[in-house]
Structure 1
Amino acid sequence: MIAKIDFEIDSLNAMKKYPENLYYKGNIELLESKKISVVGSRKPNQYARNITQELCSKLALRGIKIVSGGAIGIDAIAHKSAGAANTIMVAGTGLDVRYPAVNKNLIQEIENKGLVLSQFAKGEPSRRYNFPLRNELIVALSDILIVAYADLDSGTMRSVEYALKMEKEIYVFPHRLGESEGSSQLLKEGKAKLIYNIDEFIEQFGTREKNEVDEDEFLLFCKTNPTYEEAMKKDATKLFEYELLGKVEVKNSKVYIVSL
């Protein structure tokens, strides 16, 4: 069910213009939690995928809600790794339009367990000029913006511009030369801080809760829905074992965790 938010969200006053309307599906109480926004490329390298998965999974264990945009790439990895119940997705369409279609199952799960927000009325399709507005809202919702992977001239760097204007803390991962050059530029200009160690970074966010998935490195890896080939390379023995035990399943050449 699509509903309209009828109260003010203080952090959104940092936007150039407070949204005229804000619609939602899901658990509106997530807005009361500590939130961190995670953005990045639609085509990150495997290193960025892995480090994003680890960070978001561990932040979720500290009660942090991950805010992102539901796109393919870093957005989807962030949502999946945190778990739908720990996720706030900001859509660039009306909430009756699950975009991108390839992520429709993920978006539906977030609607059911987490929270999906949109500034756009029912029926609004994906339009190019909607996404800067979506990105500004993603940044405004949190005090911290994490840039997982960014090319120099990219939509991710536009999100960084919003964060700088709003005086938000920006963090990036260490990357090799020639990769994620947007991150390197931010560091060079002193506009971002570097996450040297994920465990040290998340220590500031309270105590850790444990569950089977997050205590098992292979199951944690499978939360990102790796390809069958990637899972085989990670740990072929556990893949076969966990298939037999019903902990994971393979569909369309990808590995998925079965609800435990």
Structure 2
Amino acid sequence: MNLVQEKIVELESMKNYPKQLFFSGNLELLKKTKISIVGSRKPSKYSRLLTHKIASTLSKNGVCVVSGGAMGIDAIAHKSAGEENTISVLPCGINIKYPSINKNLLEGIEKSGLLLSQFEKDFRATPWSFVVRNEVVVALGDVLVVIEAELKSGSMRSIEIALKMGKEIFVIPHRVGESEGTNELLKLGKAKAIYDVDEFVSRFASSEVLEKKVDDFIEFCQTNPTYDEALKIFPQRVFEAELNGDINIQNGRVLPS
């Protein structure tokens, strides 16, 4: 746990630049294009799937994902981006892995990615420290993506911060009666909807166009292997591809979508 010595340009958009900012991990991630992702601690299955797809696609295209290390959307965003390509901003001292349910995730990010905090060692999270944390999360990203939020949720505080900073806000479209906070933003024209993940990511990708690289896994799926065969050769990719909708499982066989 060390103090960040150099000024972070993105944080100059905050009401008050942090008097101190502690870190543990890879500061090089601060030099990358960054997108902040926040949302409900109890997301719907739809929100979980979209969070995974957006965060993983951003990461694959060289974009670092920033979030707050909380349960729900935050944790999914960090995991989907990969511990080596995500920044978690904490509402407590870096030595306290809060919430404890995310302890392993936060330790992995500390080892491979980057943890940031304005708080001294041993400081425990308080209601006001979450607001302080949220401001840093929002400031670091080029834009703010809000996956799911009710009208009186903590995510709405992040939205207020983003609006004051003049940040663009993106949300995913929800059905009427769901995620009323983000639906209200769309209604008022204060946010833009993400209808196509690849199109959204292409705005921030390290290359001008999303490259359609040859994918050994997808090529393998063209042969319609059994599910067991796919799991044996590509154990990690099968689950990810199912979540992303890249493959379908029919009668025990894997079919590309």
TM range (shorter): 0.7 to 0.9
Instruction: Say if 1:50 and 1:215 are closer, same or farther in 2 by CA, change over 3 A.
Output: farther
Matched, 1:87 2:62: no
Alignment of 1:56-67 (within 5 A): 56-67=55-66
Structure 1 residue 206: deviation in Å? 3.6
Question: In the aligned structure 1, how far is the partner of 2:179 from the partner of 2:216?
Answer: 30
Instruction: Say if 1:150 and 1:216 are closer, same or farther in 2 by CA, change over 3 A.
Output: farther
Question: In the aligned structure 2, how far is the partner of 1:55 from the partner of 1:40?
Answer: 13
SS in 2 for 1:129: helix
Aligned to 1:156: 155
What is the CA deviation profile of residues 48-79 of structure 1, one whole-angstrom value per residue up to 9, with x for unaligned ones?
A: 10011001101001110000001110000000
Aligned to 2:95: 96
What is the CA deviation profile of residues 158-216 of structure 1, one whole-angstrom value per residue up to 9, with x for unaligned ones?
A: 0000000000010000111111100110011110011111111112224457899x875
Instruction: Say if 1:193 and 1:215 are closer, same or farther in 2 by CA, change over 3 A.
Output: farther
What is the CA deviation profile of residues 84-103 of structure 1, one whole-angstrom value per residue up to 9, with x for unaligned ones?
A: 11100000110110001011
Question: In the aligned structure 1, how far is the partner of 2:233 from the partner of 2:159?
Answer: 44
Question: Paired residue for 2:235, among 223, 247, 254?
Answer: 247
Aligned to 1:26: 25
Alignment TM-score, normalising by the size of structure 1: 0.82
SS in 2 for 1:43: coil
Aligned to 2:195: 196
Aligned to 2:71: 72
Aligned to 2:12: 13
Aligned to 1:225: none
Instruction: Say if 1:189 and 1:113 are closer, same or farther in 2 by CA, change over 3 A.
Output: same
Aligned residues: 226
Structure 1 residue 243: deviation in Å? 5.8
Instruction: Say if 1:118 and 1:216 are closer, same or farther in 2 by CA, change over 3 A.
Output: farther
Gaps of 5+ in 2: 219-225, 237-257
Aligned to 2:243: none
Aligned to 2:139: 140
User: Cα RMSD (Å) of the superposition?
Assistant: 2.0
Question: In the aligned structure 2, how far is the partner of 1:184 from the partner of 1:193?
Answer: 10
CA contact (8 A) 1:61 1:210 kept: no
Question: In the aligned structure 2, how far is the partner of 1:210 from the partner of 1:79?
Answer: 24
Aligned to 2:112: 113
CA contact (8 A) 2:22 2:118 kept: yes
Instruction: Say if 1:246 and 1:167 are closer, same or farther in 2 by CA, change over 3 A.
Output: closer
Structure 1 residue 40: deviation in Å? 0.1
Instruction: Say if 1:108 and 1:119 are closer, same or farther in 2 by CA, change over 3 A.
Output: same
Structure 1 residue 36: deviation in Å? 0.3
Gaps of 5+ in 1: 218-236, 249-260
CA contact (8 A) 1:38 1:66 kept: yes
Question: In the aligned structure 2, how far is the partner of 1:58 from the partner of 1:215?
Answer: 17
Question: In the aligned structure 2, how far is the partner of 1:191 from the partner of 1:215?
Answer: 41
Structure 1 residue 247: deviation in Å? 2.8
Aligned to 1:179: 178
Higher alpha-carbon Rg = 2
Aligned to 1:227: none
Structure 1 residue 7: deviation in Å? 1.1
Question: In the aligned structure 2, how far is the partner of 1:85 from the partner of 1:211?
Answer: 22
SS in 2 for 1:42: coil
CA contact (8 A) 1:61 1:209 kept: no
CA contact (8 A) 2:143 2:170 kept: yes
SS in 2 for 1:38: strand
Question: In the aligned structure 1, how far is the partner of 2:213 from the partner of 2:104?
Answer: 24
